[in-house]
Amino acid sequence: MQELEIISQGIYEDLRQRILYVQQKVQKAVNAGMVQIYWEVGQRVDNACDGKRADYGKEILKYLSIKLTNEFGKAYSLRNLQMMRQFFRAFPNANTLCSQLSWSHYKLLMRVNNIDARNYYGFPQ
């Protein structure tokens, strides 16, 4: 019986490691996708509001927030849409986004006013 337990434990550990590895890969892919769509939302919102009166831009954001939140949840709240717009403005080139950084990382980096410092921390070598 002990031999069976040792073999079973080895299989379990192997499967456990494989499952954890795939879960980590999936999590990274989802995170990279969310960062990308948040950048695209920010770009689209910024383009829609750019050059418009401030109150007009606020109305666009309110409308989008209501519609997107109803369909996709609180990630698209008014405040989050404003942050996505700020994200696009802080990192205007989507090709330079680092897939290793999460949305939480970018939210912190957007608070860094010094562009050189922000780029240093935002784009690991």
pTM: 0.81
Judge whether 87 and 44 are in contact, CB under 8 Å.
no
Task: Check pLDDT > 70 for residue 121.
Answer: no
- Sign, Cα dihedral of 116, 120, 123, 125: positive
Confidence band, pLDDT 50/70/90 cuts, at residue 124? very low
Tell me the domain boundaries of the chain: 2-122
Question: Helix or strand or coil: residue 91?
Answer: coil
Residues 6+ apart with CB under 8 A from 110: 83, 86, 87, 90, 118
**pLDDT tens, 83-115?**
999 999 988 888 888 878 889 989 988 888 887
pLDDT more than 70, % of the chain: 94
